[in-house]
Chains A and B, each alone.
Chain A
């Protein structure tokens, strides 16, 4: 359905300066809803996590969830925001069946947090500072399911069902100021920004922050202008982009699409757009003019929220170490190079390695396992490291067996394979399957004698001073013991037997 001519991305960013604006919604992991005692749960049966308040039945009133305020303040503090001394909720009014009251209780001109910033680290280590305009609290809407049509969208549907389980779930919406000056890196900046927020939400433990569940949703505004000195161009807003990769692709696409329009002398329409995973393209949603009138007014059913400064400072003091600071600390503690650290972070192995180290492995060994054998396994199975059926504690145990010379590296890989197959913990597997290194001299001596007897030419070479030829004797012994022989000890015995030690 696309009609706009696309411009090659590199050409587009050569001719135009892209500007981003990102709105991120995060669902808070409170026990109950924003204004209501109904449980805040994912995937309960439709319309079961509800009360008269969630349904907006006549006569019901909202009451603010104190935990949600606490979480919103924590997010604000983590994003270096000011926290309002006094702020009100407002009603954002529009008619839609997923809104039980036909208004959303939100914050309008009095957000709980404002004027912040966050440093976003790109994959190559470059840092971009993103300014935060505001973070405000609001309630989520219910979920519509459209039936009878081919696409599952409302167009062509014959009937729709509404599930109000999500209605009233607490959200914090974080709005950036225009992100300027990032040029061709705009797509990765957008994705890295949202990833940075996702990591902060998890560290703060205010949300599970699972993108695939819609716990974190991003609306990405993109506009182009001829040069950084020009006024801002007309923007489009791509709604509900739900993965980092999709964010990157959608921004990239919008830049190419808008450049095509501008090149042809056209004007970009201010509208919301939808991103399609399959094609990597965006399509027109609804035209959004600045004149859209939500008739905001202060919510008269709620009293203002006025967090005391003492409480805010208490929350600030109790903030956990944030991801960026933690990365800096671990870099120092582990002694990795910058490049190694970035690879670890990009592979999503930071937490896993940290846990592995905490369980007793050395940082180098932990990195070797997670970035080596396990990364390969994950890639083979097209999955993420954290989805693998092995725990950091098991890796540390495995490394402990190697360090204690119970097994060698080669056997260790076999043991890991069995762990991944769900056969148990490494030490138990080694025990049960008799995989421990054979260093019993009586067994090894027999094997050595046999090898010496069968390879007189090699023995001559060794005796003649070509000690490195000893490998030709060790190889068959290792083979005969299926790799379990302690290669070091075998070598020692050969030398003893040949009278060379």
Chain B
């Protein structure tokens, strides 16, 4: 099989399958071969699901031969972030505490993938319990950025973004609690979408912060994200917070490539201080492209966004401290029994002490403190008020504009280890992405070009809740404009991985 097919978009791969140019089995095998060739350099996958993926592919092939009506993405392989529960496939959330756990059930979105016939290649690496912006807090070693293997691929979903950027998978599932889909997209030159809160079922996502978590697509093109989003979205009776709305026409919006009359608000508070010069330059150029194409660029102020990071780092750890309480060695996963026998309480303490990494412990402690009697109002309570203010900023802004824009992340990918000992610097990576999670609004990151050190940067668009279509419209249009300017996808400029040369 030629190396060529794996470099195509998922939509193009789907077309090749439908045209009979390639079989699903061949396509799946090509990706597995690619993984085998390059993943030693990247560590994007924690678990490979070869046999099951190939079986799914063969099943799709035989159903296609039989003339069965198949989902448009049937036979297109996908990688799934390891925070998503997969039946019969190890699921660790990047933590030692879940090492060896094989779930007895599938997440709702995984059921949808299986029903549609997408071969699941494997589970991708991530920061432990999705807590990080670099994939360095994974208990199974960091994932490396395909653009520069000494640099981080973003986080927490660095495994999914690296896999897609390195052509190991055309599609991947990510989750975004504070930017974990969008920031990895930005630093790997890929596309990532955080849907409206409730658009995609959370049933089967190992929760970090229930009110912020949202699963979404990680892809190389805006159209691919739209295809995947339409597949995984929709109401789920097993998730009370999932939206009852019908799924939008994302693919149509992505293909529209027209921004005439679209009002784009530039968030004043998220474009200056703290953002690298070339990241800002690519952001400006992207806006200019859109303006030339007929969009209207408007300055918008969201004054309360400055408090968003602080509020996030109270709400997220509070919910996480509670959600992670179940990891206690009693029912599943790691169990550490202190020597000489112990009480249940001692087993719980020893298991959690040994099973959780430093960042997870830091957040559990923060959250436990913030929810404690006497501190609740000052911390969790105040943070919820800020959340309301951030939501009001969004509402006010969306009265003036259709979408908001900012650079996705302040800088290009930083070096491995660079910020690991400085939590505050690490947390600042999420400054632009967090407001959307606090407000439940959707966001997309698309490549804006190469910035410092010739590394990719991203531009983020945000839309009102339930208006995800707008993201695909503006994202698809900008992608087309920029690729015209670049003469092809940004990823074509990425250095070839040693193992990837056939």
Contacts and interface: CB of A to CB of B under 8 A. Distances in A.
A93 B328 CA distance: 14
A500 B318 CA distance: 102
Given A59-B107, A97-B344, 4 more contacts: A57-B103, A58-B206, A58-B326, A162-B330
Interface stretch (A300-308, A441-449, A489-497): A300-308
Given A56-B331, A102-B325, A303 B372 contact: no
Contacts of B209: 300
Nearest to B107: A59
Given A95-B328, A295-B371, A61 B322 contact: no
A61 B373 contact: no
A292 B104 CA distance: 36
Interface string A59-73: 111111000000000
Contact of B240 (A62, A160, A295): A62
B331 A55 contact: yes
A117 interface: no
Nearest to A91: B322
B98 interface: yes
A300 B210 contact: yes
23 contacts: A56-B326, A57-B85, A58-B103, A59-B105, A59-B206, A60-B105, A61-B203, A63-B237, A63-B238, A63-B239, A64-B240, A97-B330, A102-B328, A103-B322, A162-B330, A291-B373, A293-B373, A295-B322, A295-B372, A297-B371, A297-B380, A300-B210, A303-B241
A459 B315 CA distance: 105
B331 A293 contact: no
B156 interface: no
A95 B373 CA distance: 17
Interface of A: 52, 55-64, 91, 93, 95-97, 100-103, 160, 162, 291, 293, 295-297, 300-303
Contacts of B91: 58-59
A62 B330 CA distance: 20
B496 to A, nearest CB: 37
Interface in B318-368: 318-319, 322, 325-328, 330-332, 344-345, 348, 368
Contacts of B84: 59
B470 to A, nearest CB: 25
Interface string B368-382: 100111001000100
Contact of B325 (A93, A160, A301): A93
A94 to B, nearest CB: 9
A61 B331 CA distance: 17
B211 interface: yes
A300 B373 contact: no
A302 B207 CA distance: 14
A290 to B, nearest CB: 9
Contacts of A56: 326, 331
B207 A59 contact: yes
Chief secondary structure at chain A's binding surface: loop
Contacts of B207: 58-59, 301
Contacts of A162: 330
B373 A295 contact: yes
A300 B211 contact: yes
B93 interface: yes
Nearest to A301: B210
Given A52-B105, A95-B348, A58 B210 contact: no
Interface string B135-176: 000000000000000000000000000000000000000000
A297 B348 CA distance: 23
A302 B103 CA distance: 23
Contacts of B217: none
Contacts of A52: 103-105
B372 to A, nearest CB: 6
Contact of A59 (B204, B211, B241): B204
Contacts of B319: 297, 300
B98 A58 contact: yes
B345 A95 contact: yes
B459 interface: no
A57 B332 contact: yes
Interface string B202-218: 11111101110000000
A297 B326 contact: no
A93 B344 contact: no
Nearest to B242: A61
Given A52-B104, A57-B103, A62-B240, A100 B331 contact: yes
Contact of B344 (A59, A62, A63, A160): A160
A-B pairs with the 9 shortest C-beta distances? A102-B325, A300-B210, A59-B85, A295-B371, A300-B211, A59-B204, A58-B206, A293-B373, A101-B326
Nearest to B332: A57
A408 B141 CA distance: 93
Nearest to B83: A59
Contacts of B326: 56, 58, 100-102
A433 B363 CA distance: 82
A64 B348 CA distance: 29
Contact of B368 (A61, A62, A96, A295): A295
Interface centre among B101, B105, B211, B318 (most CB of A within 10 A): B105
A60 B325 contact: no
Contacts of B331: 55-57, 100
Contacts of A302: 240-241
Contacts of A300: 209-211, 241, 319
Contacts of B210: 300-301
Contacts of A97: 328, 330, 344
B372 A301 contact: no
Nearest to B201: A61
A63 B322 contact: no
A293 B372 contact: yes
A101 B325 contact: yes
A103 B105 contact: no
A296 B322 CA distance: 10
Contact of B104 (A57, A96, A303): A57
A282 B57 CA distance: 67
B353 to A, nearest CB: 13
Nearest to B237: A63
Contacts of B105: 52, 57, 59-60
Nearest to B92: A58
A297 B376 contact: yes
Contacts of A293: 372-373
Contacts of A95: 325, 328, 345, 348
A58 B238 contact: no
Interface in B170-212: 202-207, 209-211
Contacts of B380: 297
Contacts of B93: 58
Interface in B99-132: 101, 103-105, 107
A62 B203 CA distance: 9
Interface in B212-249: 237-241
A407 B344 CA distance: 69
A281 to B, nearest CB: 27
Contacts of A100: 326, 331
Nearest to B110: A59
A96 B345 CA distance: 8
B240 A297 contact: no
A148 to B, nearest CB: 11
Contacts of B241: 300-303
Given A160-B344, A295-B371, A297-B322, A61 B238 contact: yes
A164 to B, nearest CB: 8
A58 B323 CA distance: 9
Interface string B28-50: 00000000000000000000000
Contacts of B373: 291, 293, 295
Contacts of B103: 52, 57-59
Nearest to B97: A58
B134 to A, nearest CB: 23
Contacts of A55: 331
B205 A93 contact: no
Contact of A303 (B203, B240, B330, B376): B240
